Chain A
Amino acid sequence: GNSVTQMEGPVTLSEEAFLTINCTYTATGYPSLFWYVQYPGEGLQLLLKATKADDKGSNKGFEATYRKETTSFHLEKGSVQVSDSAVYFCALSVHYGGSQGNLIFGKGTKLSVKP
């Protein structure tokens, strides 16, 4: 079956620290991979995505590379800010016959950045 495993939080960092949130997946077929972010009191927003092996998704200083050989999609940022405090969800979607399958989410990792 299809599943996503991401590192458990919470993660607490000081401003300007380096961030890594690990995500690995199991999928039949060729999944698209996503990172969503949820700020306090809001719905989820797409942060970045990658649709095929070796693609790198990037946005707002965050990056993640689709690694088929290690079935991973780790999220990184070189220098976090207080405003990055949120819950981060790794997710995958497997297409069937040209139609999108539903998203399968990891459990989320809460990030707190201290000034």
Chain B
Amino acid sequence: DAGVIQSPRHEVTEMGQEVTLRCKPISGHNSLFWYRQTMMRGLELLIYFNNNVPIDDSGMPEDRFSAKMPNASFSTLKIQPSEPRDSAVYFCASTRTSGNEQFFGPGTRLTVL
């Protein structure tokens, strides 16, 4: 099994630009989670999906952030426009709904200049 796949692994962009982060969950997993990790705030849940449907997006910081899951094998997290305070490592994780272990991807390190 390839595990959770995230792309890109690193992204450097300028303030105001649009950023799209991508995630491919483990095949057969039907829940997907997006997290943000910073030194100041630790690990924060942004949004999660069950069977491609967003369940809880209360962690999404602002309207500049949006997430989609058009099918069971793909999700995106978009930031538009990006700001320097969005700089962080963004993780995607997936799990079977009936299980209780989340499998994390390697993360995308985002730097907004």
CB of A100 within 8 A of CB of B45, answer no
CA distance A46 to B42 in the complex (A): 17
Q: Given contacts A44-B104, A45-B104, are A105 and B99 in contact (CB under 8 A)?
A: no
CA distance A32 to B101 in the complex (A): 10
CB of B105 within 8 A of CB of A100, answer no
Asked whether any CB of chain B lies closer than 8 Å to the CB of A103, the reply is: yes
Q: B92: shortest Cβ distance to chain A, in Å?
A: 9
CB of A43 within 8 A of CB of B56, answer no
Grouping DSSP codes into helix (H, G, I), strand (E, B) and loop, the B interface class, with mixed when no group exceeds half, is: strand
CB of A42 within 8 A of CB of B98, answer no
CA distance A104 to B105 in the complex (A): 17
Point out the residue from A32, A98, A103, A107 that lies within 8 Å of B98, measured CB to CB.
A98
CB of A103 within 8 A of CB of B102, answer yes
CB of A102 within 8 A of CB of B105, answer no
Asked whether any CB of chain A lies closer than 8 Å to the CB of B82, the reply is: no
Asked whether any CB of chain B lies closer than 8 Å to the CB of A25, the reply is: no
Q: Given contacts A99-B50, A102-B48, are A43 and B107 in contact (CB under 8 A)?
A: yes
Considering only residues 49-102 of chain B, those with a C-beta below 8 Å from chain A are: 50, 56, 91, 93, 95, 97-102
Asked whether any CB of chain A lies closer than 8 Å to the CB of B12, the reply is: no
B-contact 0/1 string along A86-115, CB 8 Å cutoff: 000100010100111011110110000000
Given contacts A49-B101, A93-B100, A103-B33, 11 further A-B contacts (CB under 8 A): A36-B104, A42-B107, A44-B91, A45-B104, A51-B100, A100-B95, A100-B97, A103-B45, A104-B45, A105-B43, A108-B43
